[in-house]
Every structure is written in C-alpha cells, then in structure tokens.
Amino acid sequence: MPASDDNLFAAAAACLAERDPARKVALTAATARRFRAGELSRSPCGEPEPVGEPGRPAQPVLVAPRDLPQRGLGTPDGRAALLHAVAHIEFNAINLAWDAVYRFRDLPDDYYADWVTVADDEARHYGMLVARLAEFGHAYGDFAAHDGLWEMAKKTAESCLERMALVPRVLEARGLDVTPGMVARLESAGDRASADVLKIILAEEVAHVAAGSRWFEWCCARERVEPAATFDALLRRHYRGALKGPFNRPARLAAGFSADELARLDAMVS
C-alpha cells in the first residue's frame, strides 16, 4: 500500500508493519489520537495485501504450544514467564486489531472506531505488562512463545464475519475464562501487583470481545445468515474437539454471548 500521512488504512498498515515493540506501541497511540481527532480518512488507498507475517521482533522464539515449558508461580521466574505469555498475547492483539482495520474495507465508521480503540487498549496493556516484567529483571523476548493467534488471522483473512467470530469470540474470549484463575494464583503467591495488572486487562477485554460479538452479528445480517447456527458451524470446522471450558459466564454474557450460546458451548466441551 502506498504511504499516506492522512489515510487510516495506510496508518494501520504502518502500525502493523512496525517490528520494534516500543515503537509499535507509540505509533499505535499516536495513530489512535489522530483517528479520534478526525485526521485520518478512509478514502481508497489500494487493495489490502495478502496476510503475511506481522511486524514483530526477532525474539521471542516462536514454538509449538506443546513445547512451551510449564512453570509454577512459586518463583519470580515462574511469575515472570506468566506475565511474558500474557504480554505476547497482547502484542499479537495489537497486530490483530490493526489488521482488522486494514483488511476489511467499506464497513461503518463505528467498526473502525471500535478496532482502533481495541488496538490502543492492547498497546497499553502490553506496556503495563512489560513494565511489570521489567520489575522481575526480564524483557519481552526473554521467554519462548507460541503463534496460534496469528495463525487464525491467516485463516480468516478473506472474511470479516469469520474474523469476528473466531478471533474476538473464541481466542480473546478464552482470556475472559482463564484470567480470573491466573489472578487468584498470583494473589496466592503474594504477587498482588501482577494480579492487579491482570484485573485491569480482564475488565477492559470484555469490551473487546463485545466488539467482536457486535460486528459478527452485523456481518451475519449483511450476509443474511443466522448468527447462532453460523457461529456453531465455524466452531465445529475450526475447533472440533479442541474447545476448552469452563466458561466465565458473567464476563461472556457482558461481552455479547447469550445464555443459549453458552449452553451450546457447554454441550460442545462436555
């Protein structure tokens, strides 16, 4: 895409391409400010490029999830490894949000407002985590990580409907389920500072999943398909036998899941 100082899609591509995490965070914040100030247009600026690898540093080393070592939270290194894992998720989430802005065109203004806000939030979350990680004497890249989030970005690159269903409403919603347990374990280990960071992130991630729910339903209406059946079919296609519970019902209800949906999810993992 050609460079443009005042085009949202070009700005999103620049944020997505930036490899240095600190510069990506700063560029994301600046781009979000410009968007909110009305300085970025959505005029045509070329077609989106095929999904490649997002801008990211040479470290961390990316491995299969099964190859990540399991560490307890009884040691500072164990707690640092947990914070690093969450920071890696948030770093990926910055890229995912910008790709949702860059890739899918001709959507309502509110769509772009939502995903620019999500990118800005995820960048702030990443900054909070790496600041806490530094207090343990570590930096982002010190531990191995996995790449499952971006793999789903590649699989859903051709469909905004599928992206909204499978990234916010599956991958990010899983964070709503597991974070309360992480908070409890950190508090039990006496690490209230790290637990407090995760509490802030959990509260704000509800709105991100809710944005996915909202735009998934909007895409279903545009394509004249029934949301519940469509979501179930996508889950069976991509997550057959791999969906995990239990589910954080209050958080998921607040994030746009219905009681009927949660009952069907329960049935899928039981």
Determine how many CB atoms are found less than 10 A away from the CB of residue 197. Answer: 21
Residue appearing with tokens 């959505």: 42
Domain positions in the chain are 8-47+77-269
Q: What integer pLDDT is reported at residue 241 of this predicted model?
A: 67
Please report which confidence band the pLDDT of residue 64 belongs to, taking 50, 70 and 90 as the band edges. Answer: confident
Task: Tell me what pLDDT residue 71 has.
Answer: 80
Task: Specify the 3-state DSSP secondary structure of 16.
Answer: helix
The CATH number of domain 8-47+77-269 is 1.20.1260? yes
pLDDT digits (tens, 9 = 90+) for 86-144: 999 999 999 999 999 999 998 999 999 999 999 999 999 999 999 999 999 999 999 99
Radius of gyration of the CA atoms of the chain, in A: 18
| The residue type at 64 | A
pLDDT exceeds cutoff 90 at 65: no
What percent of the chain clears pLDDT 70, i.e. is strictly above it?
A: 98
Helices (H) and strands (E) in the chain, counts: 11, 0
Give CB contacts under 8 A, 24+ apart, made by 132-135: 132/83, 132/193, 132/194, 132/197, 133/80, 133/83, 133/84, 133/87, 135/193
Q: What is the C-alpha separation between 162 and 257, in angstroms, rounded?
A: 16
The answer to pTM > 0.85 is yes
Burial of residue 178 (CB within 10 Å: 0-12, 13-18, 19+) is: middle
Q: Is the pLDDT of residue 168 over 80?
A: yes
What does the block give as tokens for 221?
């209406």
Question: Distances from the Cα of 136 to the Cαs of 67, 130, 184, 196, in angstroms?
Answer: 23, 10, 19, 16
Backbone angles phi, psi at 200, to 5 degrees: -60, -45
Do residues 92 and 168 touch, judged by C-beta distance below 8 A? no
d(Cα 80, Cα 78) in Å, to the nearest integer?
5
Over residues 34-45, the mean pLDDT reads: 91
Predicted confidence (pLDDT) per residue in 189-220, tens digit? 999 999 999 999 999 999 999 999 999 999 99
Examine the pLDDT at 3 and tell me if it is beyond 60.
no
Angle between helices 192-223 and 173-188 (to 10 degrees): 170
User: Phi and psi (nearest 5°) for 247?
Assistant: -105, 145
Residue 150 — pLDDT band, cuts 50, 70, 90? confident
Give the length of the chain.
270
